[in-house]
Every structure is written in C-alpha cells, then in structure tokens.
Chains A and B, each alone.
Chain A
Amino acid sequence: MTQATTIAATPVLAEAGVVPARTETRSVQDFEASHTRDRKRRNLMENLTSVRFLLPLLAVYIIIVLIPFLQSIVFSLTDYDGYDFANAKFVGLSNYQAIFQDQTLLAGLGFTLLYTVATTVLITAIALPLAVTLNRKFFGRNFARSLFFFFSVPSMAVLGLVWQYIFSPLGTGAVNTFLGKFGVSPVPWLSDPALAKFCVIFIAVWAQVGWHATLYLAYLQAIPADLYEQASVDGATRGQQFVHITLPQMVPAMGVSIFMLLTGGLKVYDLPFTLTTGGPGNATYTVTQSIIVTGIGSGRYGVGSALGVMFFLCCVILVALQQIVTSLIEKRLS
C-alpha cells in the first residue's frame, strides 16, 4: 500500500463513520508496532482465518466447475458420443490430432483473437470516459445510466434478429435506408467478410460498453475527493485531473475489466453465431463455434472436449501474460 492511497483513503473511511477521524494517525502507529511484536503467531492465525473465509467458494468451485472439467478431460481421451459413457472407448490422443486437421478451426482462431483484442481495446477506450461522464451531474443522468446498462439485456436471440435487420445488406436495411437518404448505395454490411467482422465487433462493443461503464462507475466512488480538491487547489484542469488522478486510480478497475473482456472474448459464441452463423464463408467463425458444431453438436463429445481442453490451455497462457503485464503497470504507477 503506497503512502498516497493510505492518506487519501482514510478520510473516506472516516466519513463512512467507520473510524473516528482523529484516531487515524494513532491506529496506524499501533499497527506498525504490533506488527513487529507478534508477527509469527499472527501469520499462522491469519492464514487460517483467510482459508476459513475462502472455504465456501473453494467448495463451490471444485464441485461445480473443477470436477466437471476434469471429467471432460477424461472424455477428450475417448470416443464418447455424449449419450452413455459406458459405451465409450479409450482412443488416446487421436481426438487432439483430429483437431489440427480441421481447416475451419484455424479460421475460427484468427477471428476469435481479432475479436478479443478489438473489443478489449475499444470497450476500455469508450467505457472509461463514459463512466467519468456518467459520474458528473447533469439532467437525465439516471435515465442515461439505465439505458446504457440496459439495452443489451434482452437475449441474443432477439437482439441478433434486430441487428440483422439494422445491418441488412439490402437497400431496405435500417443503416442502408439512412445512408440512402444521402445518396449512398447499399453497403454490404453482413455480406462482406471484412464488414461482417466489423459489424460483429461493433455490436459486441455496443452490448458491453454499458456493463463495463457501470463497473468503472463503482470504482470511481472509491477515489477520494481530496485528491481532486488538492489538484484543483494546485490549478489542475479537468483533463489533467483525468490523466493524473482518475487514470492511475482506475488501474485496478481496468485490470478487472480487461480480464473480463479477454476471457469473455476468447469464449465468444452467441453473438457471431446468431448474427452471421460464422459467415460469410468462415469470416466470423469462432473457436467456441467449432467446439459446438464439429464436436458436441455432432455427437462427437470426445472431439469437443479435446477442443475445449486445448482452448483452455491457450487461454491460460494468454491470461497469464495479461496478468503479468497488468501487475507490471500497477507497480510502475504506484
């Protein structure tokens, strides 16, 4: 914990009525002193209490996620068809070999990565300023916040249909009708590989920006007002405040948001599938679609599981990289 945040954050807690403001300095000193006195005994005690609090989550996680996943690793080594596992035979690594022979999977990998990177960058770039704006006072703020959060709540089945009408490549599509008023001839939105990729990413940004802005909004509440007051006394402009106070304070929040975007992006399925079914051609095919179409949906559960396991390994590497980068940035900033 850096000095800046310690000083800054304590008044907030004092405000919250948690600690009497005046005892602030003393309690920190007490803490330092006691820390040296019985560190060892504490260490063990603290580890035990920590784990006790962690137990319910660990239990839930192991039962609902981990054990089923271990089972699917077993499936990936068999020719399990998804019905009765008693009929399945052990086939070694042949499912894994089969994966690499599939051409569409490579196409899927390319678009999945593009989608993940593009949505992560765009959503972060839009959601943060949006959150800052939504945190300022203006007429209709609650209404705007609700809308931004809410317009992507209906199921993808419905929204996919609506967006298909909006981005229809026909002259009668909503966007093309609008452009037509300015004499622009129909744009092949969903029927051109590059534009279709753009549309999927655009809609993904639209759907998630409100969600991530709300997340940032929550984190903005934790920035102590003192920091801004001090800065404005020093004569800093709004822009300078954003760069020097808001952004550094938002680094943990960005870590969270980017992590969600990365992992969600890699697993994306619903949106491209409802909007383009992976087309035109294989332009918007995703890895998860491959798991479903060539694996699980075709009664080849073994292959689907193998795909899932491979995918898991790739994701672990990517996410580990992201974590390392984030912690490096956090260290440099603090």
Chain B
Amino acid sequence: MTTQHTSSAPTPVAASAPTARGLSLSQRERIRSAIRSVVVIAIALICAVPLYVVVVNTFKNSGDMAADPFGLPTHFTLENYTYALENLPVVQATINTLIVTVVGVFFMVIIGALAAYGMVQKRSKLTAGIGAFLMLSFVIPGQTLLIPQYKMEAQFGLVDTLLGLIVLYLGGATFCYFLIVQYMRGLPGELFEAARLDGAGPFRIFWQIVLPLIRPILITVVVFETMWTWNDFMTPNIYISSTEKQTLVLQVFNAMGQFSTNWPLFMTITTIALIPVFLFFIFCQKWIVAGLVAGSVKG
C-alpha cells in the first residue's frame, strides 16, 4: 500500500502504470514536461519584466534612469549599493525587521492555528457564531482604524517600540485562522477522535497530529505573513520614530526627498530588503508542495 502512494499526488499515472506501457507513457510525459517548461518559464519571465526593471535601475543614477528606464545602464555603477550599505543602518534595521517578523509571524500563526483547531473540533451554534464574528475583520476598512489604534498604543506606551509593531501585526492572526480553518475542514474529523480514544489530550493532538497534518497550509500562511510583515511600510512608518528602531523597508525614506524621489536608490534599498525574503521563499516553497505523501515516506 505504501509504495503506491510515493508518487506526488496529481501525477500518479506515469509512475504507477504497469511497466509494459510505462515506456511510451513516460516518453510522452517527458515531452509534455518539456513543453510545460518552455511555456511556463516563458510566461514567468515575461511577467517578471517589472522585477527586472527594478533590479537593472539599481545600477544607474537618476539621470540615466530617467533617460531610459528599461535599458541596460550606460554607465554601470554600484554607487547606490555602496551608498546604501555605508550610510544606512542596514545591520540594525535587519535585526529589527528580523525580530518583528519572527516573533510576529510565530504568534500570529500559532494563535490562528489554535483557533482553527478549536473551531473544527466542534460544530455548534456557538462556534458558528464566533466564526461569523471573526469574518467581520476582513471587511473593516483599515484606514478608519489608524487613529484609534495609534491612541491605544500610545496609552500603553507601545508607540515607537518593536513590541508595539508586533502587537499590531497580531491582528493578522485572523487571516491565518481563516486560511487554516478552511483547510482543516477538508481533513477527516475521525482522525482526531481516534487519537483521543488513544488517550491524547486536545493540546497533544494539536501539537502532534494537527500541526504536521496541515503543514502545506501552515507553510503557506507562514510565507504570506512573513512577506507581508517583512515588507510592511505603513505601520512602522507611522509608529516608529527612532532611527535605531527603524525596520529595513523604512530605509527607503533615505531616497525620498521633500520634492522628488531618488528612484535608483529607492529601488536599491528595496532590492537589498527583499533578498532575504526571496531566499526564504525559495527555501519554503519546497515545503508547501513536498506534500504529505512524499514527506511521510522519508519520516
């Protein structure tokens, strides 16, 4: 039984087919996969043109970029990078961003996953009511919350602290909850029952059974929230005033003058800020799709 499931989920045909027809099938599959490669990668590259524009302009000065935003630099320069790395508190800002992102995302996802588990454990009028109540947060326009939230944080002395940022980011837990609960509903409730009959308490079930089971969505949620938290400009822009508490994305301030913006520098800072999350995503995306089946064979 186990061997049957080792192939990745949606492409079981080729792998599990009888060997007699296997050759022609796998050949056909190979051609198909080659066509897929060409088409998908071509589309991806076309879609990535704006990203190319961002990166290529980091090697130009303002005049060069203004004269030709798409072309390769006429006078290749690393000036923007040396300026950014020498003049901006990149190390301090990276540490701050790392703290806020790691702590924020960790609690967001745990709070969201706990709630989702509680929700699927029992379907009753009470939980349905709470579910609907939680959904309201998706339709509240964030702009109207700005001043009330700021006043609240000011009252508790959380303005201009990293802790204050983390507290606000916890609001994202509703988003995590929503994604996770929908995913959990697709899983069989019998499983939790079985574990409970084995004598496991609800927290043990959550830790040992539920979390590993929902790994694809959990990683997806972690990736989304990490990108969002890492990149968020609005919240630290309003809440952080001390230079030593600025996050990485806030360093783009250094490119924005009162009347005009130094776009090449802006793009350079953006690029520097994005490299870590890009690596993080490449690392994580394997996990999203490594799938339950493949993972279990190794484990």
Contact = CB atoms under 8 A, between A and B. Distances in A.
Interface string B163-202: 0000110110110011100110111111101110100001
A151 B145 contact: no
Contact of A221 (B7, B188, B292): B292
A145 B209 CA distance: 28
A214 B223 contact: yes
A191 interface: no
B277 interface: yes
A137 B30 CA distance: 9
B33 to A, nearest CB: 4
Given A15-B296, A222-B183, A57 B174 contact: yes
B50 A151 contact: yes
Contacts of B285: 142, 145-146, 149, 214
A15 B186 contact: no
Interface in B250-296: 252, 263, 266-267, 270, 274, 277-278, 281-282, 285-286, 288-289, 291-293, 295-296
B22 interface: no
Interface in B130-146: 130, 134-146
A165 B82 CA distance: 27
Interface string A113-151: 000000000000000000011111111111111111111
B296 A16 contact: yes
A134 B286 CA distance: 12
Contacts of A328: none
A15 B293 contact: yes
A252 B180 CA distance: 11
Interface stretch (A44-52, A90-98, A102-110, A277-285): A44-52
Contacts of B70: 165, 174
Contact of A296 (B16, B146, B297): B146
A136 B291 CA distance: 13
Given A68-B152, A151-B50, A151-B51, A256 B33 contact: no
B71 to A, nearest CB: 11
Given A17-B299, A49-B121, A162-B53, A65 B216 contact: no
B10 interface: yes
A259 B138 contact: yes
Interface in A270-319: 288, 291-292, 296, 301, 304-305, 308-309, 311-312, 315-316, 319
B197 A143 contact: no
A333 interface: no
Nearest to A228: B12
B98 interface: no
Contacts of A304: 143-144
Interface stretch (B73-81, B89-97, B108-116): B108-116
B154 interface: no
A49 B118 contact: yes
B136 A316 contact: yes
B36 A136 contact: yes
A34 B220 CA distance: 36
B13 A232 contact: yes
B20 interface: no
Nearest to A136: B11
A166 B182 CA distance: 38
Contacts, number: 359
Contacts of B295: 16
A54 interface: yes
A226 B130 CA distance: 36
B212 to A, nearest CB: 7
Interface string A197-239: 0000000001000010011011111111110110010000000
A330 B77 CA distance: 57
A321 interface: no
Contacts of B7: 225
B10 A139 contact: no
Contacts of B162: none
Nearest to A319: B139
A301 B145 CA distance: 11
The listed residue with most A CB atoms (<10 A of its CB), out of B1, B137, B144, is B144
A222 B40 CA distance: 24
A97 B4 CA distance: 66
A19 interface: yes
Contact of A154 (B45, B51, B111, B297): B51
A316 B139 contact: yes
A316 to B, nearest CB: 6
A36 interface: no
A28 interface: yes
B170 A153 contact: no
B122 A47 contact: yes
A54 B119 contact: yes
Given A12-B292, A223-B9, A218 B216 contact: yes
B213 interface: yes
Contact of A229 (B16, B178, B281): B16
Given A17-B299, A157-B233, 9 more contacts: A54-B114, A65-B140, A67-B152, A217-B288, A218-B183, A220-B10, A222-B292, A252-B186, A316-B139
Interface of A: 1, 5-6, 9-19, 21, 23, 27-28, 30-31, 34, 43, 46-47, 49-54, 56-58, 60-61, 63-69, 71-72, 75, 82, 132-151, 153-155, 157-159, 161-163, 165-166, 174, 206, 211, 214-215, 217-226, 228-229, 232, 246, 252-253, 255-256, 259-260, 263, 266-267, 269, 288, 291-292, 296, 301, 304-305, 308-309, 311-312, 315-316, 319, 323
Closest 8 CB pairs of A and B: A53-B118, A308-B144, A68-B148, A315-B139, A57-B115, A71-B148, A46-B122, A27-B194
12 contacts: A21-B1, A27-B197, A46-B121, A49-B202, A54-B118, A69-B144, A138-B36, A147-B48, A151-B50, A222-B292, A267-B142, A288-B141
